[in-house]
Amino acid sequence: MKLREIAHARAGDKGDTVNIALIAYDGAHYPLLERHVTAARVKEFFADIVRGEVVRYTLPNLGALNFVMHGALGGGVTRTTALDIHGKSLSSAILEMEIPET
């Protein structure tokens, strides 16, 4: 299933770093997110965009994961020539990731 079926996402930026929060619609789906959406999978999913480390933070009480992706904005807002200088579209993009239903 695609992540968009069980979660929504928000993104923010600071310099050349993007942070994406992935939030389960229902707390019952949080274990699926925690099991299948690892830092390694996110790094692989965004391989053409993220050049640095991806760090995952778990927020079980919120039913959310937060990913901090370094080297993702071509140097940052004032240096990049990318169309999405703040990386906001990455929150939509991650929702296209496929995960198992169990």
Share of the chain above pLDDT 90, in %: 62
Is residue 38 situated within a structural domain?
A: yes
* Mean of per-residue pLDDT scores for the chain: 86
Q: What is the pLDDT of residues 12-45, one digit of tens each?
A: 877 778 889 999 999 999 999 999 999 999 999 9
Q: What is the pLDDT of residues 44-53, one digit of tens each?
A: 999 988 889 9
Is residue 100 situated within a structural domain?
A: no
Domain count, the chain: 1
Note down the domain range covering 12.
Answer: 3-94
Mind giving me the DSSP string for 27-95? GGGHHHHHHH--HHHHHHHTTTT--S-EEEEEEGGGTEEEEEEES-STT-TTT---S-TT-THHHHHHT
Mean pLDDT of 41-69: 95
Is residue 30 situated within a structural domain?
A: yes
Q: What is the CATH number of the domain that holds 60?
A: 3.30.70
